[in-house]
């Protein structure tokens, strides 16, 4: 994957990498990967991505039928389970969610932004305090599936384009800044009231990115707070800080 994805040479470079990879897989397996195989693979993944996005769209409602923790579990499971099996389960889940109204109050509508983080206990803790994560921008969330591969005459080129144009992480988001408009658009679509910026310790790209994101959110009257994660999570300390953050948001909503 090229570091400078906005370079005019990035597509050609990644396309070449995929051609080399395809050839090595064919030599290793002794099987030829033809256009029909690639089209089938693209369709399988696109269908899964499309259904994941529909799950996320349900979270725009005033009473989302799914919590942020449940949404993250669905996305993470899609990274491990055979896509065809996962798609079947997604279709069944969508039918149930479209007819389901939760008893739990939504509370403060939060967005989670940052490094790769699949800490279930943290999300569970935050949502137990009268809040719901209604959307996100991180690798174990929307950034994993947000855009599809647009099929064409050259399947490997189409796959390369998909990865080049996916919602960028901060290490790839230069020289033009594309992340902030994307984040602000998500915040507007999902009626976000507050944002938690979650950084894995020593993840420098996100640490450098957060001040400009926080500034842009503040200009839209969306408060944010930053938390730094490590292998072990200081649950008690984080809970106190999150409680104060949610209380501040609730007070501002009254005025």
- Using one digit for the tens of pLDDT, what is the confidence trace for 228-249? 988 666 777 899 999 999 999 9
Percent of residues, the chain, with pLDDT higher than 70: 98
Between 189 and 237, the more confident residue is 189
**Per-residue confidence (pLDDT) for residue 137, from 0 to 100:** 96
Q: How far is CA 13 from CA 10, 121, 176, 219, 240, in A?
A: 5, 40, 20, 38, 48
CATH 1.10.357.10 fits 10-253, yes or no: no
Average pLDDT over residues 188-217: 94
**Per-residue confidence (pLDDT) for residue 62, from 0 to 100:** 95
3-state helix, strand, coil in the chain (%, to 5): 55, 10, 35
For the stretch 46-60, what's the b/e string if a residue is b when 16 or more beta carbons lie within 10 angstroms of its beta carbon? bbbbebbeebbebbe
| Residue ranges with strand state E in the chain | 108-114, 131-137, 194-200, 224-229
**Per-residue confidence (pLDDT) for residue 230, from 0 to 100:** 80
Average pLDDT over residues 135-143: 94
**Per-residue confidence (pLDDT) for residue 201, from 0 to 100:** 87
Average pLDDT over residues 98-107: 91
pLDDT digits (tens, 9 = 90+) for 58-102: 999 999 999 999 999 999 999 999 999 999 999 999 999 999 989
pLDDT digits (tens, 9 = 90+) for 4-62: 999 999 999 999 999 999 999 999 999 999 999 999 999 999 999 999 999 999 999 99
Q: Exposure of 22 by Cβ count < 10 A (0-12 exposed, 13-18 middle, 19+ buried)? A: middle
């Amino acid at each position: 994957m090229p570091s400078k994805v906005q370079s005019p040479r990035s597509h050609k470079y990644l396309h070449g990498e995929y051609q080399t990879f395809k050839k090595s897989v064919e030599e290793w397996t002794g099987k030829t990967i033809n256009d029909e195989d690639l089209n089938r693979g693209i369709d399988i993944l696109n269908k899964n991505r499309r259904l994941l996005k529909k799950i996320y769209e349900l979270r725009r409602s005033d009473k989302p039928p799914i919590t942020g923790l449940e949404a993250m579990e669905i996305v993470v499971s899609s990274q491990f389970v055979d896509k065809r099996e996962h798609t079947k389960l997604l279709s069944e889940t969508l039918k149930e969610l479209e007819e389901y109204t939760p008893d739990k109050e939504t509370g403060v509508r939060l967005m989670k932004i940052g490094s790769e983080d699949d800490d279930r206990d943290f999300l569970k803790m935050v949502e137990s305090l009268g809040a719901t994560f209604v959307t996100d921008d991180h690798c174990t969330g929307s950034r994993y599936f947000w855009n599809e591969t647009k099929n064409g005459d050259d399947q490997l080129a189409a796959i390369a384009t998909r990865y080049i144009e996916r919602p960028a992480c901060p290490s790839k988001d230069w020289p033009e800044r594309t992340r902030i408009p994307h984040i602000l658009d998500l915040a507007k679509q999902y009626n976000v009231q507050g944002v938690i910026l979650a950084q894995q310790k020593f993840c420098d790209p996100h640490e450098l990115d957060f001040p400009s994101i926080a500034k842009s959110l503040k200009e839209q009257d969306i408060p944010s707070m930053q938390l730094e994660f490590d292998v072990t999570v200081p649950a008690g300390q984080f809970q106190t800080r999150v409680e104060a953050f949610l209380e501040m948001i609730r007070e501002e909503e009254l005025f």
